[in-house]
Structure 1
Amino acid sequence: MHKMAKLGRAKMIVREEEELKESTEEEGGEREDSHLGPKSSMSLLDQHSKLKEEAKAIKETDREKQRKEEQMILDVIAEKTALKGVAELAKGIQYEDPIKTGWRPPRCILKQSEKHHMKVRNKLHILTEGEDLPPPVKTFKEMKFPKALISKLKKCGITKPTPIQIQGIPAVLMGRDIIGIAFTGSGKTLVFVLPLIMFCLEQEKRLPFITNEGPYGLIVCPSRELARQTTDIIKNYCATLENDGFPSLRTVLCIGGTALKDQLDVIKSGIHIMVATPGRLMDMLNKKIINLDVCRYLCLDEADRMIDMGFEEDVRTIFSFFKAQRQTLLFSATMPKKIQNFARSALVKPVTVNVGRAGAASLDVIQDVECVKQEAKVIHLLNVLQKSPPPVLIFAQKKSDVDAMHEYLLLKGVEAVSIHGGKDQEERSIAVDQFRKGEKDVLVATDIASKGLDFPNVQHVINYDMPEDIENYVHRIGRTGRCGKTGRATTFVNKSCDESILLDLKHLLIEAKQNVPPFLAELEADSEKYLDIGGEVGCLYCGGLGHRITDCPKLEAMQSKQASNIGRKDYLASGAADW
């Protein structure tokens, strides 16, 4: 009886399977997908392929959702007001063609095909965007610079142009607006300095500058130290040309913390080039000490940092003082897409020259990351200093940490100097000069020393603490490993560090093929599966590699700040300001 019952159940199962098979065939296999498993009529291999296809479809749907969400965020945060002067916006002035110059590449280069130019760019990893791209020029001689200038470059150890110079200098010489992005220490400064000197020589030969005239070229820098360094470079090359019989060019440095009278004396004699920080420049323009009536050349060095630091309105106001079209150049090592798209509104048919990913760390820097408790940092600092010979650069976020470290190192017999925003300009200048000349072994600084400053032969950069965003980290470690030399960077992290910045650091180390310590490798985020969508790697807002714009801490902080400012304005407008 028991056997009969079992046989009956077996027949029932077979009958059910046959009925299921028939119904599946009738419905064109539609139900087949939902009955995968041991009882399915499909082979295990086919079932595996089916499951993979379904998983891929779900993944693609998720990615599509992520892409749409990111585009919505970009549309919301995108600046609706163009980066132009008030008069240009009001009158609807739109420049269609770039400024014309008298420079043209040699015939031998003009004869070469665009295919050959692309081959040169690909070999040097130069990425370009824009209409009518100027050809790359591989020697300073073919760029038609004077012999005295080329000899001076050789004395400085610069025998041939770097990739950013090969494509960037011809573009600037031809009068094109440019967005230049390249690793720190890749020679971006010469891309805008050398053409500007040549343009000013041309103007001076045609019609000498008279009293109170100028500037013809304006370079705006985010920090006083970078402005001073740029001025020294310009004066150096101008002096070389003057000694060779070329006209004398006058350059003025306009920065805060220095006597305005000294700057006025130079301005009164007529100036060709002005290098300035936004604050002092705005002050001088508003007081009508200078004007930009004849200025035709504007360069924003570390442009993204200036816009990011809140100087965006100042930059727009500076544009309002121009009386005619100008050639505009934007340069930086880190420039996220959001900043690039915004900056394009100020440019005419711009050429984008990108050597390496925007925001990528220099491959010539060996990056070490160490987990150090907060209270053990200062003691551990001495051990890390012994990793390499001087000069060494130490970065910290807080001014108080800079002062404490400086005092500690002096007590331990280390020849150290320090700079931060709380020190007066003379003290800052002396400290930088002593470190640059090799009179001091260690410079302790806040991030004012991280943007664009060139210190010869810095062997080691130590990050006493991790900066608040990955862009500052890239700028900091870029003070070493410059001009093809190898450098080292050591960074202290601990549990107090924000996880999002550590994720960015982890993926930056992976990209640069550096050793990732176990405590960083263990970090994972839900957003990591979306890190590469449609060829866009990482966050479109801040350039961080460890997250997407949908969970960008920097964007969140900015929006929170804006919200609190709105509330504060409303409160003050209601009469609270009277208190």
Structure 2
Amino acid sequence: MAPSAESSASGAAAASASAPAYKRRRVVEEEPDLMSYEDDDDTYEAYIPASKRKQMELQRIAGRGRVAVAAPGAGTAVETGADKGGDDDDMGVRQSKTALLHAARELKALQAKEQKSEAEKAAEEERKILDAHAARRKLASDMELAKGISYEEPLKTSWRAPAFVRRRTEQENEELRDKHHVLAEGKDIPPLITNFRDMKLPPPLLAHLESKGIKRPTPIQMQGLPTAFSGRDMIGIAFTGSGKTLAFSLPIVMFALEEQRKLPYVRGEGPTGMIVCPSRELARQTYEGIKVMADVLAQAGYPEIGVLLCIGGISMAEQSHVMGKGFHIVVATPGRLQDMLEKKKFTLEACKYLCLDEADRMIDMGFEDDVRNIMSFFKQQRQTLLFSATMPKKIQDFAEQSLIQPVVINVGRAGAANLDIIQEVEYVKQEAKMVYLLECLQKTAPPVVVFSDNKNEVDDIQEYLLLKGVEAVAIHGSKTQDEREYAIKSFKSGKKDVMVASGVASKGLDFNEIQHVVNYTMPKEIEDYVHQIGRTGRSGNTGIATTFVNMNTAEQTLLDLKYLLMEAKQRIPPFLAALDDPRAGQGASLTGCAVCGGLGHSVKDCPKLEDNQRRQTAGFSRGDGGGGGY
């Protein structure tokens, strides 16, 4: 066994001795294959660590010097922005920190630029929408546009403010405007005057105004009357019930009086001035106010002033009688006025004064062409005045371009609600409205106005109230002129307690001591809501407005209503407060829609714009059938 054990041991030793040599040979043989990339080629690129690459990129962005990394053995210098002298490690750390801070600042600036560009994109989109719906021509006659006639200076009048008013400094005038919350913009703005006597009104007119309880002018009259007397073009914006009608009626009466004194009018001559209203009822109300002032002056020995009412539904014989004597003032609706001018019943050759009452509606879709057509009959420069409680930015910008050095007078935000009105919004299901209406009528004593935007619904409400023993009348565009006038007269005289009306009675009408307005149906446009609730809370009195809303009311309209209530510091009902509001948090930066003035949406979401597009496509005009046409 010994030899065999020995031989096996020697064999194992021989195997163990030979095994390492065999493995070494395998490694040596395979090394050229595995490490073939280390060939004898000195043109390869050196490996750069990730941290070094990051530092190089940051230094390149920061522009802090040349960056070059030498390959080992390549003989290329390495410059990292650090000088040869000094500690390379410390300098590299400092430069890395500086570069990172600079990069962070650049990143923040880039993000701010991107955010700004988003806001700019939204603004650009709104501008494009407005440009697409803007009027192509300014508000002027066809002759003026065709011949390129433009007037640089406003008309001159004989009126001058008292000497002590003219001696005021501009700073003193601004302080007075601030005191009365009047914002006036324009070139050479006439001074504000705080009483009628200093405006040089005749004593009979002063006595007449005092007899009606008008002892001192309202803010819009303080600035508006001197501006109009001075012959300046004007845009007057003030809340409902603020006395805008007197601000444009007194100047036209005074100008007519002056013309009659210079040279009395004879048959076929006139008018001196013209007031255009969107509805018959508003035109008649304005006419009656001017006629009373003309009669007061005539009774006091002043020259007689002829006033013509030019609306549909009245006797042509009555109009012919006034025109036969020569007349000074025309109060009209667009439809009948165009008809009379086209038939050459009278001309505008001597007319130098034009006022558009509720001008935003007069210039709006459907009425703009009528106004242009009327202006084409003017033969000379005229003084143009535009008045409204709601004047969206789109209409205001267009009007400013069309007038001559206009003075823009604002009393409160355009489209804001009268602060003398308590606004209450109730969620009432459609089927429960009639019953709840009876409860609402118990809130105040009569008279009360109930508004609905549907003519059939107006008739239904009146019938229901009559069945319940409530003295009610109804008025809408499909009623005859006699029916409309009967409703207005019986309601104003107090014979009827409730008037149910469509939008035809929402703008401008002045009813005595209306204590309560009920919006049976919330209007689609917030402008109409402002005008409707404005039938109460007039001349400094307090009124209540109750509005019914339900699931049929558009969400955009509800958002506009919510912001209007917030602006007037009214109570916000829980169902309005819970609305999903995409504009929440914008705060003071929130601006109203340029098309309708609503605060709850932007131009691209404007319901009025969509409605106008539908009407334009269908070929319909604005209004409710007969309100402003004839």
Q: Name the TM-score class by shorter chain.
A: 0.7 to 0.9
Distance 2:308 2:133 in 1: 37
Deviation at 1:55, TM superposition (A): 7.7
**Shift in CA distance, 155/209, structure 1 to aligned 2, threshold 3 Å:** same
Structure 1 residues 84 and 411: alpha-carbon distance in aligned structure 2, compared to 1, 3 A threshold: same
1:88 equivalent among 141, 144, 149: 144
Letter in 1 for 2:613: Q
Q: Which residue of 1 aligns with 2:624?
A: none
* Alignment of 1:388 onto 2:440: no
Per-residue CA deviations over 1:333-356 (Å, capped at 9, x if unaligned) read: 001111112223431111111111
Deviation readout 1:84-143 (Å, 9 max, x if unpaired): 111111111101111110001111011110000011111111111111111101110110
Alignment match, 2:433: 377
Does structure 2 conserve the Cα–Cα contact (< 8 Å) formed by 1:503 and 1:547?
yes
Structure 2 counterpart SS, 1:300: strand
Larger radius of gyration: 2
- Which residue of structure 1 aligns with residue 91 of structure 2? none
CA contact (8 A) 1:530 1:548 kept: no
1:221 aligns with 2:277: yes
Moved more, 288-297 or 176-185: 288-297
Is the alpha carbon distance of 1:426 and 1:516 closer, same or farther for their aligned partners in structure 2, counting shifts above 3 Å?
same
Structure 1 pair 27/220, CA: closer, same or farther in 2 (3 Å)? Answer: closer
Matched, 1:406 2:448: no
Residue in structure 2 matched with residue 352 of structure 1 by the alignment: 408
Contact 2:524 2:607 in 1 (8 A): no
Closer, same or farther: CA 532–73 of 1 in aligned 2, 3 Å? farther
Distance 1:26 1:293 in 2: 76
Partner of 2:180: 124
Asked if structure 2 preserves the Cα contact closer than 8 Å seen for 1:531 and 1:545, the reply is no
SS of aligned partner of 2:250: helix
Distance 1:274 1:378 in 2: 42
For residue 150 of structure 1, what is the amino acid of its counterpart? L
1:303 paired residue number: 359
Summarize deviations over 1:503-529 as a string: whole Å, max 9, x none.
111111111111111111111243456
Q: Displacement, 1:426?
A: 1.1
Q: 1:95 to 1:18 in 2, by over 3 A?
A: closer
Q: Does 1:538 align with 2:561?
A: no
Determine the structure 1 residue equivalent to 2:531: 475
- TM-superposed deviation, 1:50: 12
| Equivalent in the alignment of 2:73 | none
Supply the distance in 1 between the matched residues of 2:616 and 2:472 (Cα, whole angstroms).
40
* 2:505 pairs with 1:449: yes
Q: Deviations over 1:406-462 (max 9, x none)?
A: 111111111111111111111111111111121211111001111100001100000
- Distance apart, 1:75 and its partner CA: 2.4
The aligned residue for residue 64 of structure 1 is 120
Alpha-carbon contact 1:215-1:274 (below 8 Å) kept: yes
1:160 and 2:220 correspond: no
What is the total number of aligned residue pairs between the two structures? Answer: 538
Whether contact under 8 Å (1:528, 1:546) holds in the other structure is no
Does 2:301 correspond to 1:245?
Answer: yes
In structure 2, the residue matched to 1:3 is: none
Quick one: distance in 1 between partners of 2:583 and 2:222? Answer: 38
Query: Which of 188, 191, 206 pairs up with 1:135?
Result: 191
Taking the aligned partners of 1:138 and 1:452, their CA distance within structure 2 comes to 24
The aligned residue for residue 371 of structure 2 is: 315
Code of the residue aligned with 1:106 in structure 2: it is P
Within a 5 Å distance, the mapping from 1:522-561 to structure 2 comes to 522-528=578-584, 537-561=591-615
Aligned to 1:198: 254
| SS class of match (1:369) | strand
What amino acid is aligned across from residue 156 of structure 2 in structure 1? K
How far apart, in 1, do the equivalents of 2:51 and 2:569 lie?
56
Show the 5 A alignment for 1:214-293. 214-293=270-349
| Cα distance between partner residues in 1 of 2:114 and 2:587 | 17
Tell me if structure 1 keeps the 8 A contact 2:392–2:594.
yes
How many angstroms apart in 1 are the aligned matches of 2:600 and 2:110? Answer: 27
Equivalent position of 1:494 in the other structure: 550
Q: Secondary structure at the match of 2:326?
A: coil
Report the residue type matching 1:393 in the other structure: V
Match of 1:181 among 221, 237, 244: 237
Provide, for residues 179-211 of structure 1, a one-character-per-residue CA deviation record: whole Å limited to 9, x for no partner.
110000000011111111111111101100101
Q: Does the Cα contact within 8 Å between 2:365 and 2:612 map onto a contact in 1?
A: no
Secondary structure of 1:348 counterpart = coil
Q: Matched residues in 1 for 2:120 and 2:112: separation? A: 12
1:562 CA displacement: 3.5
What is the identity, as a one-letter code, of the residue corresponding to 1:553?
P
In 2 relative to 1, CA 345–175 (structure 1 residues): closer, same or farther, beyond 3 Å?
same
Matched position secondary structure for 1:546: coil
Counterparts of residues 498-509 of structure 1 (less than 5 Å): 498-509=554-565
Greater mean alpha carbon deviation, residues 456-465 or residues 264-273: 264-273
Amino acid at match of 1:548: S
TM-score by length of 2: 0.81
CA contact (8 A) 1:84 1:345 kept: no
**Per-residue deviation, residues 359-380 of structure 1 (Å, max 9, x unmatched):** 1110110000001011110110
Rounded to whole Å, the distance in 1 between the matches of 2:57 and 2:167 is 72
Structure 1: gaps spanning 5 or more residues: 1-14, 31-40, 43-47, 567-579
Query: Structure 1 549/22 Cα, relative in aligned 2: closer, same or farther at 3 Å?
Result: same
Instruction: For 2:516 and 2:355, locate their aligned partners in 1 and report how far apart those are by CA, in whole Å.
Output: 30
Aligned to 2:41: none
Q: Distance in 2 between matches of 1:425 and 1:74?
A: 38
Q: Does the C-alpha gap of structure 1 residues 227 and 22 become closer, same or farther in structure 2, counting only changes over 3 Å?
A: same
Quote the residue 2:496 is aligned against: 440
User: Matched residues, percent identical?
Assistant: 55
CA distance in 2, matches of 1:193, 1:315: 20
Task: Find the partner of 2:567 among 511, 515, 519.
Answer: 511
- 8 Å CA contact 1:395, 1:476 repeated in 2: yes
Contact 1:393–1:442, Cα closer than 8 Å, also in 2? yes
TM, length-normalised to structure 1: 0.88
- Give 1:265 shift: 1.3
Render the CA deviation track for 1:284-313: whole Å, top value 9, x for unaligned: 111111111111111110011122251111
C-alpha distance after superposition, 1:359-407 (max 9, x if no partner):
1110110000001011110110001111111110100011111111111
Quick one: distance in 2 between partners of 1:479 and 1:273?
27
Alignment check: 8 A CA contact 1:293 1:322 kept? yes
Residue 394 of structure 1 aligns to a residue whose secondary structure is strand
Q: CA deviation at 1:247?
A: 0.9
Whole-angstrom CA distance in 2 between matches of 1:70 and 1:242:
54
**Code of the aligned partner of 1:544:** G
* 2:616 corresponding residue in structure 1: 562
Structure 1 residues 499 and 172, CA gap change in structure 2 (3 angstroms):
same
Name the counterpart of 1:571: none
Structure 2 vs 1, CA of residues 263 and 494 (structure 1 numbering), >3 Å: closer, same or farther? same
